[in-house]
């Protein structure tokens, strides 16, 4: 059984579009940035923690920490391994000059982020993790996204739509912000929220619909 540890409708749509059969079990973990943590370390850590938390909940050990689970996973029986779920976790963020721009806290914060991104190239990073009874695999995808120069009127109008408020970096490339992106370098689906080719490589030859 494949389980997506995310409530994101965009990740659900992308995984469904790729032909995977799965269940949704959102993770609820703190997402604070650790001191001196760089963007790739941040998204891969959160992806792993989300997948691990959901795996533990499904298996009836919600309080089990990663180190304890890691020390016992190699002893998983073949029967347990075949019955246990494969849990996919993901986390996406935007980084400009190695500074993380998460989800905006307010319309003013969204405007601040969009002004920072205006006329510049930033990175979108997604960490993905696959937790099973016997292993944890973690990887990351990075895409460079270039923005046109934005006017204050464009920013204010965009914020008024409400679209930026639950998006890392305060924009959705698959939405109205598409008009501001003349170029990307890397995986488009990564910017939407789930790098499908990378996820497929982690899942291997899992059957599709």
User: Domain coordinates of the chain in residue numbers?
Assistant: 2-203
Rounded Cα–Cα distance for residues 197 and 141 (Å)? 10
Partner residues linked to 141 by β-bridges:
126
Residue 209 has what pLDDT? 45
Residues 35-84: tens digit of each pLDDT = 999 999 999 999 999 999 999 999 886 555 545 545 555 555 454 555 68
**What pLDDT is recorded for position 155?**
98
At 12, is the secondary structure helix, strand, or coil? helix
Q: How confident is the model at residue 208 (pLDDT cuts 50, 70, 90)?
A: very low
SS3 194: coil
What's the CATH number for 2-203? 3.90.950.10
Give CA–CA dist 119/115, Å, rounded: 9
Assess contact for 186 and 157: CB atoms under 8 A: no
Q: In this structure, are residues 127 and 95 in contact, taking their beta carbons and an 8 Å threshold?
A: no
- What is the number of residues in the chain? 209
156 is catalytic: no
Mean of pLDDT values over 139-155: 98
Report pLDDT for 29. Answer: 93
* The two structure tokens encoding residue 114: 């969009």
Which H/E stretch holds residue 146? Answer: strand 136-146
Closest CA to 171 of 146, 201, 196: 146
Please report, to the nearest 10 degrees, the dihedral formed by the alpha carbons of residues 45, 25, 64, 37 taken in order: 10
3-state secondary structure of 130: strand
pLDDT in the model for residue 38: 94
Q: Which residue among 38, 65, 74, 91 is the active-site one?
A: 91
Tokens standing for 188?
A: 């488009």
């Amino acid at each position: 059984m494949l389980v997506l540890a995310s409530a994101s409708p965009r990740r659900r749509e992308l995984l469904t579009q790729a032909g995977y059969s799965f269940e949704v079990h959102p993770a609820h973990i703190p997402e604070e940035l650790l001191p001196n943590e760089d963007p790739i370390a941040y998204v891969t850590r959160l992806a792993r923690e989300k997948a691990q938390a959901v795996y533990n909940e499904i298996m009836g050990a919600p309080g089990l920490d990663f180190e304890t689970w890691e020390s016992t996973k190699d002893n998983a029986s073949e029967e347990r391994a075949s019955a246990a779920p494969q849990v996919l976790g993901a986390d996406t963020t935007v980084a400009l000059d190695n500074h993380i721009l998460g989800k905006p806290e307010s319309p003013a914060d969204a405007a601040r982020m969009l002004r920072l991104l205006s006329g510049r190239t930033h990175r979108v990073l997604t960490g993905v993790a696959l937790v099973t009874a016997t292993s944890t695999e973690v990887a990351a995808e990075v895409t460079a996204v270039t923005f046109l120069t934005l006017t204050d009127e464009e920013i204010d109008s965009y914020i008024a739509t409400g679209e930026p408020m639950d998006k890392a970096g305060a924009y959705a490339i698959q939405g109205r912000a598409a008009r501001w992106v003349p170029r990307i370098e890397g995986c488009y689906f990564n910017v939407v929220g789930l790098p499908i080719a990378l996820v497929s490589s982690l899942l291997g030859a899992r059957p599709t619909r």
